[in-house]
Amino acid sequence: MFQIFSIVSLVIAITIHEFSHAFVADILGDPTPRSQKRLSLNPLKHLDPLGTIMLILVGFGWGKPVVIDPYNFSHPRRDEIFVSLSGPLSNILLAIVMSIFLKLFPFTPLVILIQMNIILAVFNLLPIPPLDGSKIFLNLLPEQKSYEWELAFEKYGIIILIALLFLPFNGSNLISSIMSPIIQFVLQLLV
């Protein structure tokens, strides 16, 4: 039963996350997500086929990234930061709302939903391509430095991410060791 609640919670978290990227991009003037039918809370619009299979098989998956064109924004670098932040912030907001509901209506699956949203938010804020944190980081750098980092980092980002996920460290993996204290701190505030 826990596995089912975890999968449903992650599907909800991914859907809210990706919808938020699409919504903010649309508000800021990029019609790309709208033209790709991503302004929807229908999970089927946001689930990646391989990411969904992995979610079911191993309990870890991912959504289909929302494609944006920053050149449609009036302030491309600033607005791309807003779009990138919107996904993790929407997960944090949903976790806060669910923690209020949890206090009013104690229901164990809400704890799982809160946890999945916090994990997704913290994970996506890591500054590793293709995660949202890398777009935020690159757009905060001076333009020339951003370009240099992107060239050097972009092609190795997924390899670095996989290594961090699977390299053993301290009885777990490296990425869990980095994220766990942050996740635990936020969960203690909310639950």
Residues known to be catalytic: 18
- DSSP per position, the chain: -HHHHHHHHHHHHHHHHHHHHHHHHHHTT--HHHHTT-S---GGGTB-HHHHHHHHHHS---BPPPP--GGGSSSHHHHHHHHHHHHHHHHHHHHHHHHHHHHHS--HHHHHHHHHHHHHHHHHTSSSTTSHHHHHHHHHS-HHHHHHHHHHHGGGHHHHHHHHHHSEETTEEHHHHHHHHHHHHHHHHH-
Q: How far is CA 93 from CA 87, 98, 112, 170, in A?
A: 10, 9, 15, 31
Asked if 112 and 120 touch (Cβ cutoff 8 Å), the reply is no
Asked if 87 and 132 touch (Cβ cutoff 8 Å), the reply is yes
